[in-house]
Amino acid sequence: MSVIDGILPDLLEQLFQTILCYNIFMLILAKPLQKLIEAFERLPGIGPKTAQRLAFYLLHVPQGELDKFATALINLKKDTVMCSVCFNISEQDPCEICASSNRDKSLICVVEQPIDILSLERTGKFHGVYHVLHGAINPLQNIGPDEINIAQLLKRVQNTTQPVYEIILATNPNMEGEATAMYITKQLKTQNPKIKVTRLAHGLPVGADLEYADEVTLSRALEGRREY
């Protein structure tokens, strides 16, 4: 018998015990707690242990606070709309940025997610408008150009009543973000060879998400953008 043959049954038994313990744990839990733990577990980055900790923590929170939390959750989607111009999430359509007369409509910054707008707005350096793709091209997850808002961007740029001078591609500096930027550039240049297409440059670490970048890094990246 090899060493692996000896270890494997042990590992399987450990795994079986863990699953058994978890099932027993869920069985003895009060139903409302169980439901909350299961709901937390569905959130990204939350494992069973964290879900349990959060649920038990909330038991100690005053009912009034819990009601406010629940109301915020219920109204999250009911009270928000997607901007029909830039696809940002807002309380109004068009969103505050698109509706503002202080923003330069000839300068469009293309981002993957609405949360990226918050990061760029924190720099206070950008006075143009945005276009949210709601994703990036990712062949491994079957996300092609048609699954994100690229066609809408091309249509927006084509609109002659609102001429666009420059497109800043602020997709994430990872493989998917780069592939998306390259695809958009090709499409934009085919449509209008004279359009200026730039890409965020210095400062952003490769492989990181825009969401986690600090203001200084993002400011430098914006200042150091180059023709793409």
Residues that bind Zn ion (CB under 5 A): 83, 85-86, 88, 94-95, 98
Shortest Cβ 121–Zn ion spacing (Å): 13
Shortest Cβ 129–Zn ion spacing (Å): 7
Separation of alpha carbons 227 and 168, rounded Å: 9
Please identify, using beta-carbon distances, which residue of 131 and 199 lies nearer to Zn ion. Answer: 131
* Beta-carbon contacts of residue 31 (< 8 Å; ≥ 6 apart): none
Please identify, using beta-carbon distances, which residue of 88 and 172 lies nearer to Zn ion. Answer: 88
Please identify, using beta-carbon distances, which residue of 106 and 141 lies nearer to Zn ion. Answer: 106
Please identify, using beta-carbon distances, which residue of 21 and 99 lies nearer to Zn ion. Answer: 99
| 19 CB-contact burial (10 Å; exposed 0-12 / middle 13-18 / buried 19+) | exposed
Shortest Cβ 188–Zn ion spacing (Å): 19
Separation of alpha carbons 172 and 136, rounded Å: 9
Please identify, using beta-carbon distances, which residue of 36 and 107 lies nearer to Zn ion. Answer: 107
Please identify, using beta-carbon distances, which residue of 19 and 99 lies nearer to Zn ion. Answer: 99
Shortest Cβ 193–Zn ion spacing (Å): 27
88, 115 in Cβ contact below 8 A? no
Please identify, using beta-carbon distances, which residue of 88 and 185 lies nearer to Zn ion. Answer: 88
Q: Distance between alpha carbon 193 and the CA centroid of its chain, in Å?
A: 30
Shortest Cβ 87–Zn ion spacing (Å): 7
198, 166 in Cβ contact below 8 A? yes
Shortest Cβ 38–Zn ion spacing (Å): 36
Q: Distance between alpha carbon 122 and the CA centroid of its chain, in Å?
A: 16
Shortest Cβ 203–Zn ion spacing (Å): 26
126, 109 in Cβ contact below 8 A? yes
